[in-house]
């Protein structure tokens, strides 16, 4: 009898325990409010560099919340070029019910998304919120129109390739003035340094392991060819990589058309570090034809349509090639000097 009583008591305690757990479980449910409506103070933006520190526009929205068992809820704004469906979106976490990016910040984001300087772009923005990856909701989408501007800063690369003269040295550009500078330079296999201005007052040299300092020596150990040079003045680092380049060939050039084989003295162009992906060369031309080609190879070339560019009158010309984002097509000008 005692054994039966103890078994019944144990069964009752287990049942009570399960009931208590079930009751407690019902108290841990969280209800997360869906993403609310997003509004913008303007949709057609005028971005002017002189207003860089001023707000470009203001977004307003409610923040999602949770009730019941409170869990963290994240809210962010997503931006992407129209048509990308937010697959390459830039995301900004927000903690208040409004967000006002400055003109400079908005311009920098446009450039990072791939918008072209001086060309009107459409940007889509939406609000994203939720407590977990499988519980994310989105707001309505707003389309903004804006034209990014060139907000550039430059540093300079005096070296043996140009006679160690900062005043005439090639430059590196930071399109958003964020302290990271890039450019393509044709080096001669010797050394160079980095100067913030076109003078020797401050000069950065090699401090070892890809770093630079004002007490460093010459940066060397580079091959004689076109190089993509990247300098981060925030971290005081640099990298050098082989770069693609463009040249001019044809019967109108001093060297004529390239032979089928063997060495060829091709007319290389100079990269313009202004963010427009342009190349230029000034040279004497005769009446004839020419084309631009990539890396001294016919795999990629640019002419007039599918043909050659005709130079009707001999003279000195400034040739400028602006390459499109695909790296294979572009536009050109041939201006007689």
| Domain residue spans of the chain | 31-146, 153-242, 246-336
Q: pTM here?
A: 0.62
**Residue 19 pLDDT:** 40
CATH number belonging to the domain at 246-336, selected among 4.10.140.10, 3.90.440.10, 2.60.40.3620, 2.60.40.1180: 2.60.40.3620
Domains 31-146 and 153-242 share a fold: yes
Q: How many CB atoms lie within 10 A of CB 152?
A: 17
CATH number belonging to the domain at 153-242, selected among 3.60.15.10, 3.40.50.12170, 1.20.120.1200, 2.60.40.3620: 2.60.40.3620
**Residue 263 pLDDT:** 62
Length of the chain: 337
**Residue 134 pLDDT:** 64
> What is the gyration radius of the CA atoms in the chain, in angstroms?
31
d(CA 170, CA 161): 10
d(CA 143, CA 137): 19
Does residue 209 come out as left (phi exceeding 0), alpha (psi in the -120 to 50 range) or beta? left
And the tokens for 269? 């162009």
- Which residues are 79's β-sheet partners? 90, 125
Residue 15 is given by DSSP the state H
Average pLDDT, 10 consecutive residues per value, the chain (337 residues): 46 44 49 85 93 94 74 86 94 93 91 88 93 80 94 92 96 86 94 96 96 95 90 95 95 86 80 90 96 94 93 97 93 96
- Which residues are 142's β-sheet partners? 125
Domain 31-146 has CATH 2.60.40.10: yes
> Nearest CA to 110 among 84, 141, 146?
146
């Amino acid at each position: 009898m005692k054994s039966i009583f103890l078994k019944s008591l144990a069964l009752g305690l287990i049942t009570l325990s399960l009931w208590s757990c079930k009751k407690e479980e019902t108290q841990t449910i969280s209800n997360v409010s869906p993403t609310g409506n997003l509004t913008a103070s303007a949709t057609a933006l005028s971005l002017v560099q002189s207003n860089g520190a001023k707000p470009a526009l203001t977004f307003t929205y409610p923040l999602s919340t949770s009730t019941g068992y409170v869990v963290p809820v994240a809210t962010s704004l997503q931006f992407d070029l129209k048509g990308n469906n937010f697959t390459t979106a830039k995301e900004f976490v927000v903690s208040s019910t409004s967000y006002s990016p400055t003109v400079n910040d908005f311009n920098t984001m446009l450039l990072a998304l791939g918008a072209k300087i001086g060309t009107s772009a459409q940007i889509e923005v939406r609000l994203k919120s939720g407590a977990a990856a499988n519980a994310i909701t989105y707001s309505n989408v707003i389309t903004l129109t804006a034209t990014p501007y060139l907000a550039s800063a430059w540093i300079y690369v005096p070296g043996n390739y140009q006679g160690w003269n900062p005043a005439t040295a090639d430059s590196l550009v930071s399109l958003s003035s964020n302290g990271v500078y890039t450019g393509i330079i044709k080096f001669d296999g010797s050394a160079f340094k980095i100067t913030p201005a076109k003078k020797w007052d401050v000069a950065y040299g090699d401090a070892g392991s890809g770093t630079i300092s004002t007490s460093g020596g010459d940066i060397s150990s580079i091959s004689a060819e076109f190089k993509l040079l990247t300098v981060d003045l925030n971290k005081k680092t640099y990298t050098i990589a082989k770069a693609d380049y463009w040249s001019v060939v044809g019967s109108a050039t001093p060297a004529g058309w390239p032979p089928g084989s063997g060495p060829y003295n091709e007319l290389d162009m100079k990269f313009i570090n202004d963010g427009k992906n342009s190349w230029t060369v000034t040279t004497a031309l005769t009446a004839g034809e020419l084309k631009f080609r990539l890396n001294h190879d016919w795999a990629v070339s640019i002419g007039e349509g599918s043909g050659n560019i005709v130079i009707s009158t001999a003279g000195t010309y400034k040739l400028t090639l602006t390459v499109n984002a695909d790296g294979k097509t572009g536009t050109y000008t041939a201006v007689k000097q």
